[in-house]
Amino acid sequence: MDIRVAKTAGFCFGVARAVDRAYQCAEEDGKKYCTLGPIIHNAQVVSDLAEKGVGVIDSLDNLQDDVTVIIRTHGVPKSVYQELENRGIPYLDLTCPFVKKIHTLVSTHHAEGCQIIIIGDSRHPEVIGINGWCDNSAIIIENLEQAEALLPPEKKVCIVAQTTFNKNIYKKIIFFLKKTCQNTVIFDTICNATEERQAESQMLAGEVDVMVVLGGQNSSNTQKLYQICKGVCPEAYCAESIEALGDIKRFQNKRVGITAGASTPAVIIKEAINKMENQDKDFATLLEESLKAINTGDIVTGTVIEVGPTEVIVDLGVKQDGVIPASEISDDPSLTPEDIVKVGDEIQGYVVRVNDVEGKITLSKKRLDSFKTWDAIEAARENGDILEGKVDGVVNGGIIVTYKSFRVFVPASLANDRYLTDLNELVGKTVPFKVLEINKGRKRIVGNIKTVLMAQKQELEKAFWEAAEVGKKYTGIVKSLTSFGAFVDIGGVDGLVHISELSWARIKHPSDVVSVGDSIEVYIKDIAEDTKKISLGYKNPLENPWEIAKSKLNVGDVVSAKIVRMLPFGAFAEIMPTVDGLIHISQIANKRIGKPQDELSIGQEVDVKIVDIDWENKKIALSIRALLPVEEPVVEEAPAVEAEDAEPTSYTDEVVNTIGDAVEAPATEE
Ligand code: F3S
């Protein structure tokens, strides 16, 4: 049997919305509901809802106290709303929005003085309802004959149609009315869903040998669908269910098309397809399948067969499919079903609701994940396992850490291994924690971060001391700065980089070079075994300016230099960044001078000759005088100098030509 099913078969938007909502009402605790007239033309749905507590009344006169009235998709006359309001009866209006639109059109045009004409079945509740919005003054036309017999109204005519009316007959009636009525305003209110269903069914009926239209005998849209299909496919059947068709073996080796009216539950369509597909299955297989009952609260496994933006459909190996609404797939609202699953995936879900009428089993992956997470939390508490979560905020007395779908409270005293003045600095960070306490009933979890951090720190310290040795390199994190250096975490242990170790240049404060949080390369310079204090080196030896100078400067070179400092016995001049040399007072001019300031000033650029270099002690002797013409010495009294600034006596009377005569170079160390 070649079975082809119309995509538009079954509940339309309006019916699906109303039936779904009615079933939700049935599940509400402490509230009673009833529908005013059967919610749809399907006895199975109506009796199932009645069993679940949502009965049917045919008139407001039969309404019991404290019962909320459900208005079905067909809508009701205006007078019904008035009665509900006047009597203070609570109601839930599930009129299809497309029908509501017709009510508004009719009410407005009736108020403007138009004669309303409704093309539809005068006994159909939808038409009765529409007529109730123009004081029951509408002319109702069901077929072309009635249109032809109509005496054209003298006033302006407003024409609307029943949403499920046959489109072809409607067109013929409109064609005729346009000719007879002079002043008309026409609203084609036939619902798209109906049009599409009719068009698809007609096309399908033309492609098959047998056409089956599933739906109630008193469902107007089902009967219209049947007429359309019968007009194309001579072997067409209209049946409320597959059973009503009798022996389906007669369809063997035929092409069978299936469509269904707007109020036919999916389960009836699915049952028909199953029966036709499984005619050859033996009794034992069918029995086994039918025994696979699924109940609310079960955990089921299935295969993803469809992934859409709003839901995921899962084949559970039973007659109904599982449906996971997008909101029940993940805790993360930014993720769509497509981000999480794909067709063919095996997936588990918690059964939230079984709805045979709608032919679906509502599942929640989110809820199942939540159960699993709770189990993991309980196990973590038992075993002392470490979990990881993200700090979401600060509350009174502590912080909230989110672990999957659960909130974990961590008291402020246990939020870190050191005292924090502001817990907000933890917000947004991922932290490890142990479960200290849980209360299943209140879903309350208390965590402890401190204990984990302290244990981790001890482990790191132990590992560090086992491997630490002078010269070993580390990538560390700058933890804090002081005026004398930077403390750097090199893996559970802090070491100090002295300020003189931070840069080859002279700096005023460690913050000139590093900031808290920086990741820097350091090496161990020294370990004080007794105090466990570690001195770290940071400067790159390859950037040692004295080493660079060594390769560039030679005795006898004439270089440009900048005066950076002056003392009574001479001036220091920078000849390369951070490399200074001394111009002894006797080498500043070719005459005797009282003090360096007599000839030089700070910042002044001068040409100097390198007269001696002591690389080992980082001393360079410079001379300006060596570049000047020789002048006869002028004999004068030497100026008196302060004791503390006095230079060695060997400098005073003669030209300094050897490095042994120079004073200490600036305090830069290797
Ligand atoms: Fe509404 Fe159209 Fe269905 S009018 S009830 S969606 S057929």
| pLDDT of 291 higher than 90 | no
Cα 270 to averaged position of ligand 1 atoms, centre (Å): 22
Distance 164 CA to ligand 1 centre (A): 7
- % of the chain exceeding 90 in pLDDT: 56
Q: Give dist(CA 112, CA 185) in Å, integer.
A: 12
What is the distance between the alpha carbons of residues 157 and 619, in angstroms, rounded to a whole number? Answer: 113
Q: Where are the beta strands (DSSP E) in 412-504?
A: 430-439, 444-448, 473-482, 485-489, 494-498
Place of tokens 């007078």: 79
Average pLDDT over residues 156-177: 93
Please choose from 103, 162, 164, 166 the residue to mutate so as to test ligand 1's pocket, defined by most ligand atoms within 8 A of CB. 164
Ligand 1: nearest atom to the Cα of 12? 3
Output the pLDDT for position 292: 61
Mean pLDDT of the chain: 87
Tracing tokens 């199932």 back to the chain, one arrives at 48
Main-chain dihedrals φ then ψ at residue 364, nearest 5 degrees: -135, 115
Q: How far is the CA of 16 from the centre of ligand 1 (A)?
A: 9
For ligand 1, residues with CB inside 6 Å are 12-15, 73, 96, 98-99, 163-164, 191, 193-194, 262
Instruction: Work out which ligand 1 atom sits closest to the CA atom of 194.
Output: 7
Q: Do 266 and 15 contact (CB within 8 A), yes or no?
A: no
* Minimum mean pLDDT range among 82-86, 289-293, 321-325, 559-563: 289-293
- Nearest atom (ligand 1) to Cα of 98: 4
Hey, how many other C-beta atoms are within 10 angstroms of the C-beta on 665?
18
Average pLDDT over residues 604-621: 94
| CB 219, CB 225: distance < 8 Å | no
Closest residue CA from atom 6 of ligand 1:
14
Token pair, residue 98, equals 């497309």
CA distance 661 to 130: 118
Backbone torsion region of residue 471, taken as left when φ is above 0, otherwise alpha when ψ lies between -120 and 50, otherwise beta: left
How high is the pLDDT of residue 283?
57
Q: Which residue has the tokens 């529908």?
A: 35
| The predicted structure's pLDDT at residue 649 | 37
- The answer on pLDDT for 651 being more than 70 is no
Kindly report the length of the chain: 670
Query: Which ligand 1 atom is at minimum distance from the Cα of 164?
Result: 7
Report the nearest-CA residue for atom 5 of ligand 1. Answer: 14
pLDDT tens digit sequence for 9-35: 988 889 988 998 998 898 887 789 999
CA of 13 to the centre of ligand 1 (A): 6
Q: List C-alpha distances in Å: 624 to 606, 628, 634.
A: 8, 7, 18
Q: What is the spatial distance between Cα 621 and Cα 177, in angstroms, rounded to a whole number?
A: 118
Higher-scoring residue by pLDDT: 632, 416: 416
Predicted confidence at residue 390, as pLDDT, reads 94
**What 8-state DSSP symbol labels residue 354?**
E
Asked if 435 contacts 387 with a C-beta cutoff of 8 angstroms, the reply is yes
User: Would you tell me the crossing angle of helices 167-180 and 192-205 to the nearest 10 degrees?
Assistant: 120
Task: Indicate whether 650 pLDDT > 80.
Answer: no
- Report strand pairing: 299-307 vs 311-315: antiparallel
Helix (H) or strand (E) holding 391: strand 386-395
Question: Cα of 191 to ligand 1 centre, how many Å?
Answer: 6
Whether the pLDDT of residue 641 is over 60: the answer is no
- The pLDDT-based confidence of 668 (bands split at 50, 70, 90) is very low
Atom 2 (ligand 1) nearest CA: 191
Sign, Cα dihedral of 331, 334, 336, 338:
negative
Nearest-angstrom CA–CA distance, 208 and 210: 6
SS3 annotation, 71-108: ECCCCCCHHHHHHHHHCCCCEEECCCHHHHHHHHHHHH
Element (H, E) at 346: strand 346-355
User: What tokens does 139 get?
Assistant: 């002319």
Q: Is 148 a catalytic residue?
A: no
Highest mean pLDDT (candidates 323-327, 594-598, 638-642): 594-598
Residue 275 Cα, ligand 1 centroid: separation in angstroms? Answer: 29
Q: In the prediction, which pLDDT does 356 show?
A: 63
d(CA 304, CA 302): 7
Mean pLDDT is highest, among 164-178, 260-274, 306-320, 636-650, for 164-178
pLDDT of residue 357: 64
Q: 504 falls in which pLDDT band (50, 70, 90)? A: confident
pLDDT: is 316 or 333 the higher one? 316
Report residue 284's pLDDT band, with 50, 70 and 90 as the boundaries. low
So what's the pLDDT on residue 282? Answer: 58
Q: Of 28, 85, 112, 126, which residue is the catalytic one?
A: 126
pLDDT score recorded for residue 306: 86
pTM of this structure = 0.48
Give the pairing of strands 91-93 and 67-71. Answer: parallel
For the cut 90, the answer to whether the pLDDT of residue 186 exceeds it is yes
Give 139's contacts (C-beta < 8 A, 6+ positions apart): 115, 116, 117, 118, 150, 153
Give the position of tokens 């949080």.
Answer: 517
Provide the residue type at 36 as one letter.
Answer: L
Q: Which atom of ligand 1 is nearest to the CA of 73?
A: 5
Which residue's CA is the closest to the ligand 1 atom numbered 1? Answer: 14
Could you tell me which of 74, 77, 84, 3 has the C-alpha nearest to residue 37?
Answer: 74
Does residue 142 have a pLDDT over 90?
A: yes
> What pLDDT, on a 0 to 100 scale, did the predictor assign at position 654?
36
Question: What local confidence, expressed as pLDDT, does residue 659 receive?
Answer: 41
pLDDT tens per residue across span 54-99: 999 999 998 888 899 999 999 999 999 999 999 999 999 999 999 9
By most ligand atoms within 8 Å of CB, the mutation choice from 72, 94, 98 for ligand 1 is 98
Per residue in 214-267, pLDDT tens?
Answer: 998 878 889 989 999 999 999 999 998 888 888 888 888 899 999 999 888 887
Taking each helix axis from N to C end, the angle separating 220-232 and 192-205, rounded to the nearest 10 degrees, works out to: 30
